[in-house]
Amino acid sequence: MYKIVSKRVLNPTVTMMDIYAPLVAKNAEAGQFIILRVDKDGERIPLTVAGYDRTAGTVKIIFQIVGGTTMLLNAKKEGEFIEDFVGPLGCAAKTDGIKKVCIVGGGVGCAIALPVAQKFHELGCEVHSIIGFRNKDLLILEEEFKACSDKLTVMTDDGSYGRQGVVTMPLKEAIEAGENYDEVITIGPLIMMKFVVATTKPYGVPTTVSMNPIMIDGTGMCGGCRLTVGGKTKFACVDGPDFDGFEVDFDEAMARSNAYAEFEQRAREKNCNLLKGAN
């Protein structure tokens, strides 16, 4: 059992928790993820390592409440326990040879992007961050990004905070203004990452995307997380989650991500009713 050491609500649909998991904290690196189960009959869900404290033995997770399991997790209180917390899984973010990087995060993808931005900052790289949200109420982690970015641009779809528009606007402007990024790293909804790649590709700016397909075992055995990258089948859990954005078949990934929509809807309704019953 793994103790929830702290819990903080970041916005009405996003929660941050520190979980006491010293072995995971000891080995985790930016870009990796864990798989947890809230209770013994629960489903396994992957969440990115959003930070760690090796001394305190804690691992930070930031999750959006989107369905059955994230609802159950969010119902847990500080001091309570979750059943399993397995990791670190996947490959750490690659940092070799990168001196200037642009991190592009969208929505809760910013939680996954933050430890990557922090890692580059710690290594002394120049970090430009562009973070986008639908509106001001959904904004998360602005102060944390400020602290690790040489330049931060906040975008909202409706203009209620920062600049109005999508993240690709300032990215294109920066590239055209001559910012020579060694790498653009983008993390967020599939459609956003697809458009980030469409923005950088004509300029030949190397672009890494963080893929988040459905995962089951997280160890390369079930094939649930397969993607086509450069015409070859890859498993996001062991070969990724980061891939060369120019090589990813986004249309296939988007079609596969909807494959379980009906089951997910049923689980959401079941857990919603369970939680209502508990209150």
Ligand X SMILES: Cc1cc2nc3c(=O)[nH]c(=O)nc-3n(C[C@H](O)[C@H](O)[C@H](O)COP(=O)(O)OP(=O)(O)OC[C@H]3O[C@@H](n4cnc5c(N)ncnc54)[C@H](O)[C@@H]3O)c2cc1C
Binding site for ligand FES (CB under 6 A): 215-218, 220-225, 235, 237
The item of ligand FES, ligand X, none sharing an interface with residue 62, based on CB under 5 to 8 Å by kind, is ligand X
Beginning with the edge strand found earlier in the chain, give each strand of the sheet holding 51-53 in spatial order: 51-53, 58-64, 14-20, 2-11, 81-82
Under a CB-based contact definition with an 8 Å cutoff, are residues 22 and 48 in contact?
no
Binds 218, which of ligand FES, ligand X, none (CB < 5 to 8 A, cut-off by type)?
ligand FES
Q: Which of residues 112-151 bind ligand X (CB under 6 A)?
A: 112
CA–CA separation, 167 vs 113, rounded Å?
14
Options 68, 87, 105, 162; binder of ligand X; rule CB under 6 A: 68
Residue 111 binding target from ligand X, ligand FES, none, CB below 5 to 8 Å by type: ligand X
How many Å apart are CA 159 and CA 133, to the nearest integer?
10
Task: Give the tokens for residue 31.
Answer: 């870009």
The sheet carrying 183-187 orders its strands as 163-164, 151-156, 126-133, 100-106, 183-187, 207-210, 242-244
48 lies in the site for ligand X, by CB under 6 A: yes
CA angle 218, 220, 223 (to 5 degrees): 95
Instruction: Tell me the chain's radius of gyration from C-alpha atoms.
Output: 18
Comparison of 221 and 255: residue with beta carbon closer to ligand FES: 221
> Residues 209 to 268: which contact ligand X by CB under 6 A?
212-215, 241, 257, 264, 267-268
Stretch that binds ligand X, among 23-31, 91-99, 107-115, 129-137 (CB under 6 A): 107-115
Residue ranges that bind ligand X, judged by CB under 6 A? 33, 45-48, 62-64, 66-70, 108, 111-112, 212-215, 241, 257, 264, 267-268
